[in-house]
Structure 1
Amino acid sequence: MIEVTLLGTGSPIPDADRAGPATLVRAGGQTLLVDCGRGVQMRLAGAGSSAGALTALLLTHLHSDHIGDLGDLIITRWITSFGPNPVPLTIIGPPGTADVVDATLRAFAPDIGYRLAHHPDLTGPPALDVQEFTDGVVWQRDGVVVRAAPTDHRPVAPTIGFRVEHAAASVVLAGDTVPCATLDELASGAGALVHTVIRKDLVDAMPLQRIRDICDYHSSVEQAADTAARADVGILVLTHYVPGIGPGGYDEWRALAATVFPRQIELGDDLHRVEVHPAVCGRGTVTPAG
């Protein structure tokens, strides 16, 4: 079984009720965080996890809303690891990730220096293992396999999606993208597809061109549903809502997706959880868990 928790379902626009984009995936004893938008550590706590519990951080791309709390995550894991040989945090992302991590460490250099000077048991800076990929197997441990494939979020490039597989269960996390053949292939037959979405009909009606521009490189609800249908996935999980969904608005978004995707559709507040079970007859059977 793979457990998926929508830690943050928000967007670059601050929302009092939604943290920035982040999804927690638990499988086979591994705890994987996909993206780390604002407020991610509060949501990790709400999900019963923490920076120290993570076995890897997977970044779909380097837009600010998807990496906004990267520095806080790195520092918190470092100062809450009390063993003599802390396990490095593996950070996996597209090319450019290493530069962003290096720049983040430089930004926090004063803080790191203060803590090294104050705590004798801290003998070095945060332990990190940064790896860059565009496709292929990026993680393999204890029966959990993570694959990556390119997506299309141009002019943001490169961007990647991830497929997590364990014991015949599988979940694909698309990140920000428009429909593309590489995502179709990555998602083919998966138990669940977690896809970021916007309401193009509502965004197009906004008066500011800069806001309307986001229609160019994000999938609408219907496009995400069409991707799920083409890939024959078991369940579609929507997240990263633009604009934010108000009280009582979920049914309308779900109905739009249902015009294209006839199976189970999940969306909800931060900390919404879904269990993805091993495939049956070529598809995942999925149990929502509140």
Structure 2
Amino acid sequence: MIDVTLLGTGSPMVDPNRAGPSTLVKAGDSLFLVDCGRGVLMRAAAAGVGAANITALLLTHLHSDHITDLSDVITTRWVTTFVPTPLPIIGPPGTKAVVDATLAALAPDISYRIGHHPDITEPPSIQVHEYASGQVWDDGGVRITAAPTDHRPVEPTLGFRIEHDGVAVVLAGDTVPCAGLDDLAKGANALVHTVIRADLVEQMPVQRIRDILDYHSSVEQAAATAARAGVGTLVLTHYVPPLVPGQEDQWRAKAATEFSGPVEIGNDLLQVSVGN
């Protein structure tokens, strides 16, 4: 069994009811945080998980809304972990530069804490691993594979396939339909996919917002990807425009035009347990 919790189902469009893009995946004894949008640790706390419990942070790409709370994850894990263990951060090329810049911005705070607390003697310990594709994790019975997706002009971008005990969950990140994601998601028990309502976005008066149609999957496209890959369950997240309570069936109906399997859609902290 793999448990998927949608910590943040929002987007760059600020929604008081939705944190920024982030998903928690529990596989075996490991907890993987996938992306870290605004408010991620507040939502994690509501799910009973602290920064110190995170096994590794996986970044699908370096768009601001997906890494807004990177500094919070780093700092909070550092000051709440009494047995210091490095935080593995796995992401596309460019991740190390972002982490280094974040640590540089935190330099005053780091010096204050080391100067004040006798039991904090070292800065945060981070292990950054950059990948364009391939196996990125193999430990504790959990294997994670990354594959390139298509979110151009944002590149490189990754999707992740997390496997444990014969169960596989794929996290697409932001992407349009592409061969990389099709291959990654093939036969998975669940696909967690970011989505937009193209019909609603097309009606928005601001061109900058309509531009997101160029590099995000619509609900129908995400559902078609799930159907091509033969996944068991489609989990929708990162709703643009924000999902209005009571309209879940509208989104689900659009997915059903392309995918006949179960479709999970809901608020932050929705938990989906996936098994054979």
Question: TM-score when scaled to structure 2?
Answer: 0.99
Q: What letter corresponds to residue 180 of structure 1 in structure 2?
A: C
Per the alignment, residue 153 of structure 2 pairs with: 155
Please give the alpha-carbon distance, in whole angstroms, between the structure 1 residues aligned to 2:257 and 2:13.
28
The residue matched to 2:101 in structure 1 has which SS? helix
The residue matched to 1:194 in structure 2 has which SS? strand
Q: Which residue of the other structure, out of 227, 231, 247, is the alignment partner of 2:229?
A: 231
Confirm or deny that 1:18 pairs with 2:18: yes
Kindly state the Cα deviation for residue 164 of structure 1 after the two structures are TM-superposed.
0.2
Structure 1 runs (4+) deviating above 4 angstroms are: none
Per the alignment, residue 60 of structure 2 pairs with: 60
Per the alignment, residue 207 of structure 2 pairs with: 209
Kindly state the Cα deviation for residue 142 of structure 1 after the two structures are TM-superposed.
1.1
Please give the alpha-carbon distance, in whole angstroms, between the structure 2 residues aligned to 1:82 and 1:265.
40
How far does the alpha carbon of each residue in 1:57-79 deviate from its partner, in whole angstroms, 9 at most, with x for none? 00000000000000011000000
Matched residues, percent identical?
68
Please give the alpha-carbon distance, in whole angstroms, between the structure 2 residues aligned to 1:55 and 1:113.
26
Per the alignment, residue 167 of structure 2 pairs with: 169
Please give the alpha-carbon distance, in whole angstroms, between the structure 2 residues aligned to 1:101 and 1:247.
36
Please give the alpha-carbon distance, in whole angstroms, between the structure 2 residues aligned to 1:66 and 1:50.
19
Per the alignment, residue 29 of structure 2 pairs with: 29
- Number of residues of Structure 1 aligned to a counterpart in Structure 2: 276
Kindly state the Cα deviation for residue 144 of structure 1 after the two structures are TM-superposed.
0.4
Kindly state the Cα deviation for residue 81 of structure 1 after the two structures are TM-superposed.
1.0
Mark the runs of 5 or more structure 2 residues left unpaired by the alignment: none
RMSD, aligned α-carbons: 0.5
Q: What letter corresponds to residue 88 of structure 1 in structure 2?
A: P
Mark the runs of 5 or more structure 1 residues left unpaired by the alignment: 279-290
Please give the alpha-carbon distance, in whole angstroms, between the structure 2 residues aligned to 1:208 and 1:13.
13
Please give the alpha-carbon distance, in whole angstroms, between the structure 2 residues aligned to 1:29 and 1:267.
26
Confirm or deny that 1:43 pairs with 2:36: no
Per the alignment, residue 112 of structure 2 pairs with: 114
Kindly state the Cα deviation for residue 128 of structure 1 after the two structures are TM-superposed.
0.7
Per the alignment, residue 126 of structure 1 pairs with: 124
Question: TM-score when scaled to structure 1?
Answer: 0.95
How far does the alpha carbon of each residue in 1:239-276 deviate from its partner, in whole angstroms, 9 at most, with x for none? 00000011201000000000110010001000000011
Per the alignment, residue 2 of structure 1 pairs with: 2
How far does the alpha carbon of each residue in 1:198-234 deviate from its partner, in whole angstroms, 9 at most, with x for none? 0011001111100000000000000000000000000
